[in-house]
Structure 1
Amino acid sequence: MGEPLIDDESPSWPLTVVTTLGEHSSVLIAQALRAIGWWPGLIAYGGYASTTQVRVLGRALMTRSGDQRGWLAQRRGWRQFFDAQVPRQPVLVTCGAARAVAFADRWGYIDLTLSDHGLPPGWHSARLQPLHPADVARAGVHEGDALSGSRSRPGARHVRAGRAVPVPVRVVGDDERVGIVSDIDDTVMVSMVPRALTAMRHALVDRVSSREAVPGMASLLSTITRVSGGPDAAPVIYLSTGAWNVVPTLKDFLARLDYPRGAFLMTSFGPSNTGWLRSGLEHKRRELRRLAAELPGVRWILVGDDGQRDPQVYAEFAREHPDHVAGIAIRSLSHLQQVMSHGTLAPLVPGALWSVPERIPVWYGVDGESLLASMRAGGLDRTLGGPPLPLR
């Protein structure tokens, strides 16, 4: 049995006090902004689904423009991290035939799973719609309740709602057998995350539009999705320890460079009830296990780099769930990049992948092109049961 899908840590009362004070501060800021003409808006992060249930993710923020923050692409990175979140904001989530009310957490994040959406495999658009908190309270609506949308029911209370925001959702069919889970920082985009000063410059000073892509990775991911996807391209999940704040501009970056469309699973920075800083390692472990549980028919190609802890996380997952892993692809950083990344010449956890079950192939390459060549030589086409992979 694997570890539970939730963090098995006891709450700390000092951290609970800090996070509670942070929530109260956010409420006061939201009230002040509302007084000068701002209103609760929603940022759609996306989602993924099986044929029976769907997971929808987003965030409630105070806004005065109502857009999806696309203007951030031409601003310096620090602008992404100055948000006024709306704690406990009620939101109506609709996806196909499924409809329910969710309440944002203390940081404004929305993460709701709905059942019986009735949508076929492929890309679809769910909707997030902010609700008036006082109306929701008077109506006695709770998390997971459905709103009928009818005013004709006797005794029904009217609940005011804001403008709906579309949320892209990928429904994975029962007959889809292969998908991709890809890291972002130093795998598809040069970030040097473990090197604090370099990462801070990339995240806070550089304009998102000027960020550098890892050569050949867009072609690699696109090629694999086409070969293994059947009528629709194979599902892609971008799993990263980066902050949710960067998703709007990250979507623009990936789209401009022709990376395949995918869902995002990021983290929120700052303290929780159990830690001053959230563990990126635990985040990736937890989300991989959740994917295995929610999409049990899919075998994942895990793509990462050896500048962080991807080899360790992927090896652990492959040992725990070998039937859910089709292969592991690791971008090998150069000696200079290793030094810039974490201060040593050697990759992090270099021996971790030796513990991967023998029947699961592991591929290495310095960029997307060499990785694709390694995959082709290593028989990925036989693993996927499809035609031979092209080199380009």
Structure 2
Amino acid sequence: MFKRDPIQIITFHSYGTSNHLYVKGRAIEDEGIDLNKTGFFSLLRNSWKRFETDKVKNAKLTLTLTDDRTIETITDSQGYFLIDEMIENLLPLTNDEGWLQYIISFNDKIGRREIQENNNFLGEVLIPSEEANFGVISDIDDTILHTGLTSRFKWAVVKNTIFKSAENRIPFEGAADFYTKLHQGKLGKNCNPLFYVSHSPWNLYNYLELFLSVNNFPKGPILLRDFANPFTSIFQPKEKGEKPEKQREIQNILKTYPKLPFILIGDSGEHDPDIYIEIAEAHPERILAIYMRSVNHRKKMIRVEGLFKKFETVPVLLVENSTEAIKHARQMGFLK
């Protein structure tokens, strides 16, 4: 008899407030992906499993907080679930860094399948510390991780995504140190929250989480895009007037923390300059600075330099390396 894969709940690092719980994740079959494996065929197999997911739809789930309060939800047709509820007194449940832990479990049969013995899946939500002076919203692709989005026909994206393990991906030099300093802030203990946004699909969540962890980036919510095919955004145009999902996520972060100013970090390769300019012009009092990593692409750099030439709404720095960014951040009073 054919043995079916066990089922699991993937929880995504998300964010909330002392009275607002925002939890996102996905229920899928456990394909046994080992992110530590290397070698051409292992990486190819992992990539195939990552995108050929067997979702668990219409599954009833129960989230349990550490004080035993529970919330029920159900997965959609793609296996995703979202809990977006007002719930009081969450701050006492967080640790020193502002992370609230919870357990989420299947609470019913899935078709003919019995729930396995290991039915407690750990998740975390960031509730920023009251000591935070500002937040940081950073792109991932070609900002801290070289993806090759500016390469001809995007072939570097394919090569890096499929044929390189998360542990072998090399971050831009000094990026983790810069982000750690921003997280620590001027006092060295501010616990300023970091939010990582990307056009990558949720299928790559565990891959990117491992990359950030092994390279010592501060832990933060990882906010990705809802689509099944990682190359959809490259070849499929958006409808007229539709805002990029990254931009909508940034706007939601600003709305969630109305009293917290933010630093935006991106790169000059794709859409970050346009998105960040629009956000800064809409919320000039909320954006402290914009850092744009320069990319090795002459035409794109000429365009970006033109965009920012007369832009005076908020301070903008086009940087070649993290040392320049750290120096500027100290001058601005963001770091000690």
Contact 2:51 2:228 survives alignment (8 Å): no
Contact 1:55 1:113 survives alignment (8 Å): yes
Q: Partner of 1:322: helix, strand, or coil?
A: coil
Q: Does structure 1 residue 248 correspond to structure 2 residue 223?
A: no
Aligned to 1:154: none
Among candidates 357, 361, 380, match of residue 332 of structure 2 = 380
State the TM-score, normalized to the length of structure 2: 0.82
Aligned to 2:274: 312
Structure 2 Cα separation of the partners of residues 110 and 287 of structure 1: 17
Q: More deviation in 106-115 or 255-264? A: 106-115
Aligned to 2:122: 166
The structure-2 alpha-carbon separation of the partners of 1:288 and 1:209, relative to structure 1 and needing over 3 Å to count, comes to same
Count, aligned residues: 311
Q: Partner of 1:113: helix, strand, or coil?
A: strand
Contact 2:17 2:90 survives alignment (8 Å): no
Among candidates 175, 187, 191, match of residue 233 of structure 1 = 191
The structure-2 alpha-carbon separation of the partners of 1:338 and 1:370, relative to structure 1 and needing over 3 Å to count, comes to same
Q: Does structure 1 residue 51 correspond to structure 2 residue 18?
A: yes
Among candidates 72, 79, 83, match of residue 101 of structure 1 = 72
Aligned to 1:207: 165
Percent of aligned positions that are identical? 21
Specify the code of the residue in structure 1 equivalent to 2:301: A
Structure 1 Cα separation of the partners of residues 193 and 136 of structure 2: 6
* Residues 1-392 of structure 1 mapped to structure 2, 5 A cutoff: 36-63=3-30, 69=33, 71-74=34-37, 75-76=42-43, 78-79=47-48, 80-96=50-66, 99-120=70-91, 122-132=98-108, 163-174=119-130, 176-195=132-151, 196-228=154-186, 231-270=189-228, 277=236, 282-333=244-295, 337-338=296-297, 344=299, 346=301, 349-354=304-309, 356-358=311-313, 360-376=314-330, 379-381=331-333, 384=334, 389=335
Specify the code of the residue in structure 1 equivalent to 2:54: A
Structure 1 Cα separation of the partners of residues 302 and 104 of structure 2: 42
Higher percent of residues as helix: 1
Q: Partner of 1:51: helix, strand, or coil?
A: coil
The structure-2 alpha-carbon separation of the partners of 1:282 and 1:162, relative to structure 1 and needing over 3 Å to count, comes to same
Contact 1:47 1:169 survives alignment (8 Å): yes
Structure 1 Cα separation of the partners of residues 205 and 138 of structure 2: 15
Specify the code of the residue in structure 2 equivalent to 1:116: I
The structure-2 alpha-carbon separation of the partners of 1:348 and 1:197, relative to structure 1 and needing over 3 Å to count, comes to farther
1:365 CA drift (Å): 1.1
- Structure 1: any 5+ residue segments left out of the alignment? 1-31, 136-158
Specify the code of the residue in structure 1 equivalent to 2:319: G
1:242 CA drift (Å): 0.8
Specify the code of the residue in structure 1 equivalent to 2:204: V
Q: Partner of 1:93: helix, strand, or coil?
A: strand
Contact 1:189 1:211 survives alignment (8 Å): yes
1:304 CA drift (Å): 0.5
1:330 CA drift (Å): 0.8
Larger Rg over CA atoms: 1
Q: Partner of 1:124: helix, strand, or coil?
A: strand
Structure 1 Cα separation of the partners of residues 180 and 116 of structure 2: 43
Contact 2:269 2:300 survives alignment (8 Å): no
Q: Deviations over 1:56-113 (max 9, x none)?
A: 1211101266xxx5x2242416242232112222221234555322222222122221
Specify the code of the residue in structure 2 equivalent to 1:165: F
State the TM-score, normalized to the length of structure 1: 0.71
Q: Partner of 1:291: helix, strand, or coil?
A: helix
Q: More deviation in 37-46 or 307-316? A: 37-46
Specify the code of the residue in structure 2 equivalent to 1:84: D
The structure-2 alpha-carbon separation of the partners of 1:291 and 1:324, relative to structure 1 and needing over 3 Å to count, comes to same
Contact 2:103 2:122 survives alignment (8 Å): yes
Specify the code of the residue in structure 2 equivalent to 1:163: N
4+ residue segments displaced more than 4 Å: 159-162, 228-232, 275-281, 354-357
Q: Deviations over 1:111-152 (max 9, x none)?
A: 2213225232511212221222579xxxxxxxxxxxxxxxxx
